[in-house]
Structure 1
């Protein structure tokens, strides 16, 4: 919600308004800077957007992507070109595992940084709101104005750091992925790594439903307009609070589509479903899976 502040907020009106601004708050120029920041990058909509972006990053899946630096082959060139699959087969498994561990730590550090940046931004917003809403003669003190200016610059820098951490993708190689002797003998291209981020998978609760003995599940990927091919998802199903006569039901499915029908369920029972991306060999971090609880309907009579 946009915020505004005038000299009337300090209880002064008429010809004394300029004097009131000087005795009841920071200078007009500094107050204008604070209000501009509160009305733009720190307004309610912007803070909510930061929170949503943070939550998406916390729920995303992170992969270590390896790519080569040499250009694609020229069809007219008769030189032997090693395919990506053959190139990846030469990667040292122990070096790859160490890189995955380092990348996992990197992802955790970046997520922790995003949380800290967000907390500092919200704290700074609250402090600036308190400044423009209070009437404190001490604020005309030069040192206090200097501290306020530093706070404004710190918040602006923290907003920039938040965006920079969101977009950072480079992962620097600290271990040799292909043994040195193979590089020398074959003249293989130089390899680099980067962080591949895949958006969270969410159930479509409007389209998911149950019958008396089945559940039809639908899910989608956040910010993905069209379903991508070659995707694998892992779906879990578990009966909740079975009565003593029930046989506890638990199912696990791997699915390449964005929907799944789960059959052989019992009527009038609650089931918890979860969906996440299927684990790949280059997955380094994924701590979240989407949950949904549905109840089957009563069995038909007659």
Structure 2
């Protein structure tokens, strides 16, 4: 009985070993060779290797995961309009240009362009998600085709496979291009003819700023105050202004309901005092809204509970 059980375990170990799977692949390959002439088999192997290379490089699972993480990050960014001379690219603008240029722009037309910028940003974010789904679906299709033990359908449909590879390459190109906020097309003149001679021709571009996020390891609650830390993934060259909001969760009285406020902060480290002990507070952080902001879909929030008061000792005799 013991020998029989041991034999079964050894058989299971053999089935689970890498060599077993290698033998299975070799058996499937040998079976496939029997279905094709040698020259046809070489053609199949070359084409199969080309698809495999595409799936492990241009469309690898690791690359798609990075792209998905990037899209999720873009959904949390803040988006702004940048006013640039037409001969400059985004990021090359002179900081002194904006105030002198902005005073000549028609406010109502600029507000309409901000609405266009909001719509364009939303469309780009939705499109990124759809393109990424197309890439995921296309990879699954090609991978399933490679896993088929019969090479004949693969060869018979090679024209469709080639077209699918080209389509997925085009989708990837569109995806990468859409990840970069683009130019806004101005349908109406933002600057009057009288003022146009005083400033160079301008263009409007969309730009993205990385989200402001609480540092959850460094943010700590004490008995009646909290110490908060936040950060931005890519630190801007110019210091930014932030807006912190907090509120007491589940207030029971009018006085407790007043335990809420909006506080401007100019640093990534700040304290909030005069809180109630042993209570939960919700905190949110964002950039101070400027006139150039067009879309800010996400705010980071953090809930902390203050510590209870220490127990009172016995009264002195």
> Normalising TM by the smaller chain, what interval?
0.7 to 0.9
Does 2:195 correspond to 1:195?
Answer: no
Do structure 1's residue 239 and structure 2's residue 248 form an aligned pair?
A: yes
Contact 2:121 2:181 in 1 (8 A): no
**CA–CA distance in 1 between the matches of 2:236 and 2:308?**
34
- Residue 62 of structure 1 is matched in structure 2 by 79
1:114 is aligned, of 114, 128, 140, to: 128
1:278 to partner: Cα distance: 1.4
The 8 Å contact of residues 21 and 28 in structure 1, kept in 2 or not, is answered as no
* TM-score, length basis structure 2: 0.79
- The alpha-carbon deviation at position 7 of structure 1 amounts to 9.5
Question: Which of 222, 230, 249 is equivalent to 1:219?
Answer: 230
Within 2, Cα distance between the matches of 1:271 and 1:251?
11
TM-score, normalised by the number of residues in structure 1: 0.83
Aligned to 1:74: none
Q: 1:6: Cα distance to partner? A: 8.1
CA contact under 8 A between 1:60 and 1:286: conserved in structure 2?
yes
Q: Identify, as 1 or 2, the structure richer in helix.
A: 2
Instruction: State the alpha-carbon separation in 2 of the partners of residues 86 and 127 from structure 1.
Output: 55
Deviation at 1:65, TM superposition (A): 0.6
Which residue in the other structure is 2:271 paired with?
261
Q: 1:221 to 1:21 in 2, by over 3 A?
A: farther
Kept after mapping to 2: 8 A contact 1:212/1:268:
yes
Dislocated runs of 4+, deviation >4 Å: 5-8, 20-24, 243-246
Q: How many Å apart are 1:96 and its aligned residue?
A: 0.5
Secondary structure of 1:257's counterpart equals: coil
Q: CA deviation at 1:276?
A: 1.4
Distance 1:245 1:167 in 2: 48
Matched, 1:280 2:290: yes
Cα gap change, 1:227/1:111 in structure 2, threshold over 3 Å: closer, same or farther? closer
Give CA-to-partner distance per residue, 1:164-218, whole Å, 9 cap, x none.
11124322222211112332xx443211111121111111111111101111111
- Find 2:56's aligned residue among 9, 20, 39: 39
User: CA separation of 1:139/1:6 partners in 2, compared to 1, >3 Å: closer, same or farther?
Assistant: farther
Q: How far off its partner does 1:228 sit? A: 4.2
CA contact (8 A) 2:228 2:271 kept: yes
Q: Conserved in 1, the CA contact under 8 Å of 2:32 and 2:151?
A: no
The equivalent residue for 2:14 is none
Following the alignment from structure 2 to structure 1, what is the Cα–Cα distance between the partners of residues 139 and 23? 21
CA distance in 1, matches of 2:278, 2:67: 41
Residue 234 of structure 1: how far off its partner (Å): 1.4
Q: Give the superposition deviation at 1:10.
A: 8.1
Q: CA deviation at 1:163?
A: 0.9
Q: CA deviation digits over 1:70-102, x for unaligned, max 9?
A: 89xxxxxxxxxx964233112100110111111
Show structure 2 runs of 5+ residues with no match: 1-20, 89-95, 313-317
Structure 1 unaligned spans of 5+: 72-81
**In 2, distance between residues paired with 1:137 and 1:36?**
17
CA RMSD between the two structures: 2.8
Partner of residue 191, structure 2: 178
Q: Distance in 1 between matches of 2:54 and 2:97?
A: 52
Q: Which moved more, 1:49-58 or 1:167-176?
A: 167-176
Which residue is 2:239 aligned to? 230
Using a 3 Å threshold, how does the CA distance of structure 1 residues 140 and 133 change in structure 2: closer, same or farther?
closer
Aligned partners of 1:118 and 1:162 also within 8 Å: yes
Would the aligned equivalents of 2:32 and 2:150 in 1 still touch at CA under 8 Å?
Answer: no
Work out whether residues 107 and 285 of structure 1, in 8 Å CA contact, stay in contact via their aligned partners in 2: yes
Q: CA deviation at 1:141?
A: 5.2
Corresponding position of 2:219: 208
